[in-house]
Amino acid sequence: MKRSRLTAVPVVAAVALTLGTGVANAEPVDLRTDYLTVEVGGTVWTPSIYGGDAFEIEEAIVYANGSEDLSGGQNGDAFDGVLALYVDDEAYGSDCAGGGDGGDGEPCTYVVDVTDDGDDVVVTAPTQAMSGLDVTVQHRYFAAGDLARVLAAFRNPGSAPITVEVTVANNYGSDSGTVVEADSSGDDAVTAADRWIVTGDGGSYDPVVTTHFFGAGAALAPTHTTLALGNENGGDGDATFTLTVAPGATAYLAFFVGVTGYAGSMYDYPDMDSIAAAPFLETYEAAVDAAVAAATAGLGSRLYAGVPAGASLLNWAPTGAPPATPATGTPRFTG
How do residues 220-248 score in pLDDT, each as one tens digit? 999 999 999 998 898 999 999 999 999 99
Reported pTM: 0.86
pLDDT at 24: 41
pLDDT at 4: 34
Taking only the tens place, the pLDDT of each residue in 202-211 is 988 899 999 9
DSSP type of residue 7: P
Question: 32 versus 67: which is more confidently predicted?
Answer: 32
Across the chain, mean pLDDT equals: 82
Taking only the tens place, the pLDDT of each residue in 132-146 is 999 999 999 999 999
Give the C-alpha separation, 62 to 41, whole Å.
9
* Distance between start and end Cα atoms, the chain: 26
Give the C-alpha separation, 149 to 299, whole Å.
11
Contact by Cβ (8 Å): 162, 156: yes
For 13-303, CATH gives 2.70.98
Contact by Cβ (8 Å): 15, 46: no
